Amino acid sequence: MKSFRIGIVSRIILFVVLFIAVLTIIIYLIIKPTELELLSKNEWCVDRIYYHNVLIGPKTEVFAYFQDINGNGPCAEICNFKTHGELALPGINSPAINGTWRIEENGNVIMKADSLESVFNGQYELDVTEQQLQLKSLSTIIYAHKDNYRASNPLQDLLNWQRAQRRR
């Protein structure tokens, strides 16, 4: 019976590949954003809102809507979870809705809206990735995607920076 021997060069290559793989996994786990960061660092464009399995929105009443020359514009149906607990939700045949939110230790989101309480208030299971958001409560399901127009709009970033400077 032949014994299988690995040469020293093959051993070194194998060790380096394994080391790089382990190091890559560790770095990924360290820099991977948490659900809280994914939720609060993005603006979400709401695609659909189901209430008791019936599609009810979103249908935010917007007074002005701007588009660029290519026909692209910011999403009017915004869901925004600010880090200090403020919440902006799209309207349902109404203007946008404000409220508050917090995340529980178990990862669920508690939302309390200023209006349409029966639709929006409650505890939601959170399913969030870099590009998609799903919030599911006993009565309501909200589907959204990352608002890439706002995320990649340098003019909006400049305006937000100027507003922040004026508040100081």
**Per-residue model confidence as pLDDT tens digits over 136-163:** 999 999 999 998 775 555 555 566 556 6
Looking at residue 49, its pLDDT comes to 97
**Domain range spanning residue 147?**
35-167
Q: Which of 117, 116, 122 is nearest to 138 (CA)?
A: 122
Residue 14 lies in a domain: no
Look at the block and give the residue holding tokens 């917090």: 102
Residue 18 lies in a domain: no
Residue 72 lies in a domain: yes
| Per-residue pLDDT at 117 exceeds 90 | yes
| CB burial readout 97-111, b (16+ within 10 A) else e | bebebebeeeebbeb
Residue 131 lies in a domain: yes
Average pLDDT across the chain, whole number:
86
Rounded distance between C-alpha atoms, residue 91 and residue 150, angstroms:
19
Residue 1 lies in a domain: no
Looking at residue 51, its pLDDT comes to 97
What's the CATH number where 157 sits?
2.40.128
Looking at residue 139, its pLDDT comes to 97
Residue 9 lies in a domain: no
> Domain total for the chain?
1
For residue range 67-115, what is the model confidence (pLDDT) as tens digits? 666 666 778 899 999 989 999 999 999 999 999 999 999 999 999 999 9
Residue 143 lies in a domain: yes
Residue 26 lies in a domain: no
Q: Is the dihedral of CA 12, 17, 21, 27 positive or negative?
A: positive
